[in-house]
Amino acid sequence: MKACAFCKQEFSSLTREHIMPKSLTDRKQRERGGEKPSRYTSKADKFIGGELTIGDVCRNCNNGPLSELDSYFLQLYDRYIYKFASPEKRIDFTYDFDKLARWLLKVSYNSARATNAPDEVLLESYSKYILGEDVRPKGLNIFLTLVLPYKIKNSEKHDPRIQDVDEIEPDVLRWSRVPDERLAKEGVTFRMVQINSYFFIVIMPNQVTYEARKWYAELKGFRKKYPQFRQLRAKDGVSRTPLKSSGVDMVNNYEIFPSANLSRIFELID
């Protein structure tokens, strides 16, 4: 008997859950004319095509609440995320905070188990919330920034891989833990998920030692350090946050969140 990573019930056999839902990778593949999307894993430290799965989820969770979350995110994808951001355009981003947060946490928890990340146990403690069976964790915050395509400078054209392209689009599926040793030690969840231009940060305090005042100060520091991010509204039901580009592009975004260098970004080009 094996226990499901989400509901903890024991089953004789478990099913495979995609870390990034197959519906989403299929959608991106179709948009790219059949080519597999690149994905980034911090463990492999490179962009590779293909799909990652993890085989420790029961059928009930996989086909029930987790698949409902995937459907919800796919709606957001079809409404907003499929389109790369442009410097001029303003977007009225409308979302259900909890469904979005639960989906981002699901991807993060799946990824943490697949790579034995140090925050696996922490993320596991939110599995009931991910399933929709627990209240929203205290101090849970989602931040979002739009990543623009990177315009290639003439001085960079000597690189044979980019001689014939003018810009690098944020054609990306990318997720990882944001390494911050101080916050990690305090049990703070700090994760990023990027799909195309939409770069999400999930940050929330240790639920056991949570103190509202201390956490507000922490968030204030976060906003100061990352002014390009908008904070999403943590309320029930539908929220709306106007988004516009803050000038972050594919390259300087990697400089802010270093986990790949410029030459690896160039590998994304068809």
Task: Report how far residue 120's alpha carbon sits from residue 132's, in angstroms, rounded to the nearest whole number.
Answer: 19
Q: Which of residues 57-116 bind Zn ion (CB under 5 A)?
A: 58, 61
- Write the single-letter amino acid at 145: T
Minimum distance of Zn ion from residue 132's CB (angstroms): 12
Rounded (10°) CA dihedral 136, 83, 252, 116: 50
Contact 95, 104 (CB under 8 A): no
**Is 4 one of the binding residues for Zn ion (CB under 5 A)?**
yes
Pairing label, strands 38-41, 173-177? parallel
Which part of the chain contacts Zn ion (CB under 5 A), choosing from 2-10, 27-35, 85-93, 166-174? 2-10
Name the minimum Å distance from CB 13 to Zn ion.
12
Q: Which range binds Zn ion by CB under 5 A, 6-14, 134-142, 181-189, 201-209?
A: 6-14
For residue 130, the minimal CB distance to Zn ion (Å) is: 11
Could you tell me which stretch among 3-11, 133-141, 218-226, 239-247 binds Zn ion (CB under 5 A)? 3-11
Using the rule CB under 5 A, is 7 a contact of Zn ion?
Answer: yes
For 226, the token pair is: 């990352």
41-60 residues near Zn ion, rule: CB under 5 A: 58
Give which of 146, 150, 152, 143 is closest to 83, Cα–Cα. Answer: 146
Bridge partners, 173 (sequence order): 39, 195
Q: Confirm if 223 and 231 have CB atoms less than 8 A apart.
A: yes
Minimum distance, C-beta of residue 73 to Zn ion, in the bound complex (Å):
19
Residue ranges that bind Zn ion, judged by CB under 5 A: 4, 6-7, 58, 61
